[in-house]
Amino acid sequence: MMVVRYNPELKVCKIVLRTGEQQHSFNAPYQLANIPIGLQPSSSRFGGSQRKFWKDKASDAVLYQTSIKEGDIIIGGTDGLFDNLYSHEILNIIDIFLNDCFGSSPQESLKSINTHSFTPVFTKSQLANLTKRKAKLLAHDLVKEARRKSKNKTC
């Protein structure tokens, strides 16, 4: 997980928190799952050979604490994201997204998404919808770049 804070005056992002990987070994991340006993012996094909790999509980997780502020970006990603993109690459994608895709205010952002229904007054649901749309677009950009890098081994 990563928490990123945007500084609109400097137009840059900084990492507030970056958690470590939570895994038993390479390619064997913690998993909250109840795997049927009959399938547990096949765990060796997926990075684990002990039954405990299938018995992770929420209490097994490492806990982190940080303060978040309105506007912070919380990125919950799998190894598919964090194994393929360095922190500075993630920050760069977020910087480009925030600086180029939308205006600096929620009003400008909403206008750029839906020019037919722009109004200067926003309901909570309109702002929530805007936030959801921005989050989806940013997630798409991050996943697209991680996928591209995973296919191009020279990156």
pLDDT by residue (tens digit) across 64-122? 999 999 888 899 888 889 888 999 999 989 888 887 655 554 445 544 544 444 444 55
Residues 52-75, mean pLDDT to the nearest whole number: 83
Confidence class for position 61, pLDDT limits 50, 70, 90: confident
Q: Is residue 16 scored above 90 in pLDDT?
A: yes
Q: What is the pLDDT of residue 135?
A: 80
Q: Give the up-direction half-sphere exposure of residue 72: CA atoms within 13 A in the CB hemisphere.
A: 16
Q: Kindly compute the dihedral angle of the four CA atoms of residues 136, 138, 141, 142, in this order, to the nearest 10 degrees.
A: -110
Among 20-24, 26-30, 102-106, 144-148, whose mean pLDDT is lowest? Answer: 102-106
Q: What is the pLDDT of residue 114?
A: 47
Among 44-53, 61-70, 76-85, 126-135, whose mean pLDDT is lowest? Answer: 44-53
Rounded-to-integer distance, Cα 83 and Cα 85, Å: 6
Q: What is the pLDDT of residue 152?
A: 81
Higher-confidence residue: 16 or 105? 16
Q: Domain segments of the chain: what residues?
A: 2-16+75-151, 21-61
Q: What is the pLDDT of residue 98?
A: 80
Residue 71 φ/ψ region, left for φ over 0, alpha for ψ in the -120 to 50 degree band, beta for the rest: left
Contact 122, 106 (CB under 8 A): yes
Confidence class for position 3, pLDDT limits 50, 70, 90: very high
Rounded-to-integer distance, Cα 38 and Cα 29, Å: 21
Residues 121-127, mean pLDDT to the nearest whole number: 61
